[in-house]
Each structure stands twice: as C-alpha cells, then as structure tokens.
Chain A
Amino acid sequence: MLSTAMLSFISFWKAASVVLCDFGSSAYYAGGIAMKAFGPAFPWFILGVMLFSGLMLGVYTESCIMFVRGGVYVVVREAMGKVMAKFSVSALVFDYALTGPISSVTAGLYLGGLLSNILPLLHINWHVPSRAFAVIFAILVTAYFWRENIRGIEESADNNFKIIAFVAVVAVLLLGWSGLTLYQRGFVLPPFTPVFSEEALGWTVHFPWLKAVGLIGIVMAFGHSILALSGLETLAQVYREIEDPKVLNLKKAVVSIFIFSVLFTGLLTFISALIIPPDLVAGKYAENLLSGLALELNGPYWSRLGMQVLVVLSGVLMLVGAVNTSFVGANGVLNRVAEDGILHDWFRHLHKKYGTTHRIVNIIAVIQIVIILVSGGDIFLLGEAYAFGVLASMSFNTMSMVILRFKRREEEREWMFPLNIPYNNAYIPVGLMLVLVVLLSATGMNLLTKKVATIGGLAFTAVFYAIFYVSEKLNEKKAQLYQPDDDSDEKMNLRREADIQTVVPELTKARRVLVPVRNPNNLVHLASVLETADDDTTDIIVLSAKIAKGIQSGGETMADEDKEVFSAVVLLAEKYGKTVKPIFVFSNDPFYSMAQVAQAAGADEIVMGVSGSTGAEIQLERLAMAWGMLKKPGEAGKPVLAKVVWEGRQMTFQLS
C-alpha cells in the first residue's frame, strides 16, 4: 500500500497569465475612476502607475526569490514581526474583499453597456438599468465562485493562459484600430495638470496649506490611480509553482507582466483619452471606458459593435477570473496565517464533503456580497475604497525588503532590486528606499484624500487584526505554539494505491531517478538531484519508506512526521521548480522498498542521503542485497547507479 501525489510546475507565461488575470483587469475600470477623481489628466497618471509597476514588480521579484512561499504576510513577519504581519495581512484581506466586488461590478457594467446597444437591434425594448444589472450580475458571479471554492475547484493556469491570450488578441486589434483612427483623425494630448473633484480632495480641504498643485497634486493624482496596481500579491502566491529555472522564469514572467500591463492598461487607457471626447469619458463611458474606445473608433457601427462585443467578452472573462483570484487569494492567505496559529481553528473547519476551509470561504463571500450591495453598483465608490489595501500591502512589503537588507545582510541574494551601495557587509538599498518613499507619500496622501478607503480600510483592518489577536491568544492557551515555517498542514492531493505498478505508467520521461528520503532535515541528496536533473527528461521519484513491523492491515495512515517529510520534499521541489513524484510506503525494510520501487520503475539511478547511524558503505551493502534478492536467479536485469550523497561528497557504484 502506498500513497502518492503529483507535484507539477508551470511555465513562466502561464504564471504571468495567472498574475495578469488579476493585475491586468484594472484596465477596465482604473481609467474611469481616475477620470472622475482628477479629470482629463488621468491617462498620464495611469500610464505613470503602470510604469511604476515595473519598479514594484522588481521589489516583488526580490521578495519572491527570498521566500519561495512568500507573500506579504511571510515577508513582513520575517522583517518586522508578527504584529506588523497581522496588520499587513488584514489590509491585504481588505484588498481581496474589494477585488471581487470591483471586478464583478465592472464586468456587470460592461455587460450592461453592451446589452443596451444590442437589445434595440433585436427589437427588445428594455432599458438596462446598468448599476442594478451590475449588482445582480456581480452577486451571481460571486455566488458562483463561492460555490466553486467551497467545492475546492482549483484555479487552472491553463484557463488563465487562454483568457490572457484572447485578451491579448483583442488588445492588439484595439491598438491597431485605434492607431488607424488616430492617424485619420489626429489627436491632442491630454492635459497633464490634474483637476480634482471636491470628493477626491477628501479631508485635505480642511488643510489650506495642502494645495492640490505641484508635487502634492501629482502625489494625490498618483494615489487616486494606484488601484491599477492591484494583483501583485498574486505574483508572490504563484512563484512557488513556477518551473525550473525558477529565478530566470520569474524574471521572464515579470517582464511579460510589465510589458502587457504598460501596453494594455497604460497605453489603451491613454489612447481612450485621445479618441473618446472628454465629456463622454466622464459621462457615458465612465464605467466602461474600453467599451467606449471600441465604439468611438472610425468605422461602420456594426464593426464597432463587434469590437465592443470582443472587448466586453475579454473584460468579463478577465474580471470574472479576478473574482475567483480574490477568493483563492484570501482563502490562501488566511489559511497561511492560520497555520501560524493566529487564526482560530474554528475558521479552518473543513467541509465534510469537499474538505475545504468553507467557513473562511463563506466569510469572504458574505463580505464581498455585502460590499456589492452597499456599493449599489457604484464603481467609483468601490474604487475610492480599493486603493487602501493595495497601497498598504505594497508599502509593508517594500518596507520589509528594506529592513531585510540589514536584518539578513549575510544572506546571499540571487537578485537584488537595483541601486545599492555596499557598506559594512550590507547593501544599502537606495532603489528600494526611493520606491518606499513614493509608496509612503501616496499612502499618506490617500489617507487624507480617500475618506471611504481610510475609514473602511482602517475599520476593516482593525476588525481583522482583532480577530487575529484574539485567535492567537486562544491558540496560545491551547499551547499551539507558533513555529516559523511550520508547514505540517501541507495540503497535497494524496491518493492511495495498492501497488507500485499502478504508479509506473505515470512515469513518462526517458530517465528516472529514485531518491529515498527519511529525515526532513537531511535532503542534501534530493537538492543535488533537483539542482542537476533535467526536468524535461527526468522523472524524480521521491520515496519515503516508513518502517512498520509485523503484518500490516493496509489501513495505516501518514503520521505528522511523515507529512513533515513530504512537506519538506515539496518545499524543496518548489524551490527548484522541478516536478517530483513523491511516494510513501509502509515497509519492514526500507532498502527492500527502494529496490522494489527502483526495479518496478526502471530507475537509472538511486540517490541516497548518508545515514548518520550506519554510514554510506553499509547503506550500499544493504541496498545491494535487497537489489539481488528481488531479482530472479540468473536474471541480468537493468544496471542502476547507486549513489550516496552528503555535503561535498558522494559515493557512486553500480548495482547489476
């Protein structure tokens, strides 16, 4: 009887697609919201924010490389401790709580706008009440993903990739057609000076010295546009799934995200302002700017309507994907903090049928639906509140990265955010500090200008912080002590098989390496295999054999220490971005299991770690005896290399 799981990794373009489904979706609403806040200068600032995203992507690249299983919670915890980590994650949950509503409402508004144009052509005389329609649509979408996440259906990177590919095609069409229109019509660049609405000035009207002009005006406008940056946390969450070579693929994904975002969100928003008359941007198309762009292009109405259909279809797909991301992201981050003992076990109760953390999903869904209802489909109200969580999590993350440059100065970094001055065994992160100054300026300004965000965000953060605080105290009473990086609750898609032969057909690569593991703290040999093996041509089978004496009933289950070994294996595989096939068996002789699995799988190599109790030679002797015992007398069999690897050394012999 054995247990096995599949651990697979995704390419950089699929990882980029997952991030872009969240990160790129703001293209559909950021421009309209910014226009309402500070007028026709909005395209400059949206473009500026998208260029700034390159710097933020750089910050997240450094943090992702440092923490394979990172995200703002882990990064802040390591840099500033658990109190600040709780604050940061509370703000992040607020971000997720708004990502769903703003995305689903926007999708509803785009769909409503399209129906308003199409229904008259079908002689259906129904005026679509856009906001009411958007609210109903948003609730339906939220309810759908509520159900899907209760059932535990995973996000598929393949689907994200298809959506982004379709969106890219639509974007290219839109850019090309827009270019032609601009060529035919000519254009006037939008003004650079922001003109703030009374609402957008917030509490600053009470500070006469705080004039919305010059640099302060720019920071204010930047703060109102920063919501276009939502989705960076998704990069941190998806990094663990990126395939080998991990760092290189992360960089490729980041560059892809940046280029797509600048062209899609930044450039299309800018072009919208060049093509759509300002009064229509502020009025008719304020809630569905890219639909407006499609409809205002040069060409016959039917073709423009066709373009709108494509825009709406791409938008709905992308925005609806962002709703799911908000569920998955919030559930994931809350589970992560729960593993650290700062969320009461009540929240982690597993669904009887589906085994999902249904209470967390229920809470996210209820919060999102309440927000949708309270907003009444007003995208500007949602946008007003939205930037709080985005800015808070980015600021916390960047500040933590600055602190970690000093706190973990000895740690070798595979990549550092540029502009560093070597000083006293550390790199003074001038570049990171400059980014932090920008973020803190925008955060400070937003606290004053965005009343809804400040009140809503602080209240939400305070409530969640209180939940975390009380949970932690309750858990401490139960002596569930905090353990950094304790991943004992690793969730894997485990399945049980009666025989190794049922697993063998899943091994499809030309070369097969068997890596027996036992001690989660002694995986040097696995690391050496992961470092050198070619993932395209090599199946890495990781075997954990638990010694069980006597006759077994077959009803044994994995104990916590066995899961710990599996978790360590998964963490290491994630670090290198290479696929492994973990297999867990009960056996009264681990060497017999090794030989049996190696022979059944047709392994080319068996790579063992050195045993402190017996030593490498005895390990090889036992394996040789088990190897021979499993062969039929006189049978030649396929030779296999047997290695014992430890720090800086290895022994290699052949079993024949």
Chain B
Amino acid sequence: MIRQSDGVSLSAVITPENVVFIEGTPSKEEAVRQLTERMLARVSGVISRKALFDRVAEVEKLNQVLESGFYIPHAKFPELDAFYGVLGVVPQGFTDPATGLKVKALILLLSPHKPAFFQRHLNMLSLLSQTFQPELIEKLAVLKDPAAAAALVTGK
C-alpha cells in the first residue's frame, strides 16, 4: 500500500541537546556507542538499556556508510511514537573499515516500528542523506557549538 507522503522535518529530530561532538578518532563502534548513550537518556522511559544497545548493535551490522561519508545507524522500535535522533560530529573523522570512507558526521535515528510510520521513516532517511552532503559535513566538522551545528543542519 502507498502510505501518505508525510513531510518530515529535521528540526524535530536534531536539536542542540541532541548533538554530540566526539573528539579524536574513535572506531565506528565507539562513535555509535557514544550516540546510543546520549539516546538512552531520551528514550529510557520506554526502551531498556539492554534492548536499545542490543538492537543498535544488531542493525549496525546491516547499516552502511553512504558514499558522501555520512552514516545513519537506524533502528525501529514498536514502543516509540515519534522519531528520535542524536547527531554525532567527529571533527577528525574515522575511517569506515568496510568502505574505506572517512566519516565525520553520523546520526543515530530511532523510528517507530509501525506500518503507518514506514513511509515517514523512508522520507526521513532520504531527507537526512540529502541534507548531509560533503560540503555540509565539512562545515559541521569545524564547528564547536552544538547549537550552531543544529542550526546549520536545520537551517534555523
């Protein structure tokens, strides 16, 4: 079935509180772990720590770094009723072992695992990959302030 072509907005997902600057050159797993820790604080009321970390670790095996050097580890949970995101900025970047691509920005996205949300989930993924082009990622990498990073991404 064709679902409604719901509009999605980055500003609902990316706020200054949800931006994490990761110093140094972490591994991919370490970067995702740090974002998951931040995410846990937001969803701990509905998702347990174990469930969140297990699920993220599971889907992480399937997620791929995009050609643009942007990475979107994403997972769906039936307990959720809205999108949750945590944006990670890695100024020095890390190298994805699978593709050899340098990753300086990534976002952990959690979506509701409900049929009615899948169209919006796809729209969100499409919008994120459209927004995080190499030029934007380079601009993000030189920022220090989460509010400035969120404003750059959302255009507000």
Question: A residues near B, CB below 8 A?
Answer: 588-589, 592, 614, 617-618, 620-622, 624-629, 631-633, 635, 639, 641-642, 652-656
Contacts and interface: CB of A to CB of B under 8 A. Distances in A.
Interface stretch (B19-27, B44-52, B83-91, B127-135): B127-135
B123 interface: yes
6 contacts: A620-B118, A622-B64, A624-B126, A627-B126, A628-B127, A654-B2
Interface in B114-149: 118-119, 121-123, 125-131, 133, 136
A442 to B, nearest CB: 61
Contacts of B121: 621
Contacts of B54: none
Contacts of B125: 621, 624-625, 628
B1 interface: yes
B62 interface: yes
A635 B129 CA distance: 12
Contact of B2 (A592, A631, A633, A652): A652
A618 B72 CA distance: 13
A624 B63 CA distance: 13
A194 to B, nearest CB: 71
A627 B127 CA distance: 9
Interface size class of B (residues with CB under 8 A): 20 to 34
Interface of B: 1-3, 5, 62, 64, 66-68, 70, 72, 74, 99, 118-119, 121-123, 125-131, 133, 136
Given A621-B122, A653-B119, A655-B122, A631 B5 contact: no
Contacts of A589: 64, 67
Contact of B126 (A592, A618, A655): A655
Contacts of A624: 122-123, 125-126, 129
Contacts of B136: 633
Task: Sort A-B residue pairs by CB-CB distance and give the 7 closest, nearest first.
Answer: A628-B126, A628-B129, A628-B130, A624-B122, A629-B129, A625-B129, A624-B126
Contacts of B1: 652
Given A620-B118, A654-B2, A655-B122, 14 more contacts: A621-B74, A625-B126, A626-B129, A627-B129, A628-B129, A629-B66, A629-B133, A632-B133, A633-B133, A633-B136, A635-B130, A652-B1, A652-B2, A653-B118
A628 B130 CA distance: 4
Nearest to A615: B62
A629 B130 contact: yes
A653 B130 contact: no
Contacts of A620: 118, 122
Nearest to B76: A617
Given A626-B129, A629-B130, A655-B126, A618 B67 contact: no
Contacts of B62: 614, 618
B119 A629 contact: no
A641 B2 contact: yes
B69 to A, nearest CB: 10
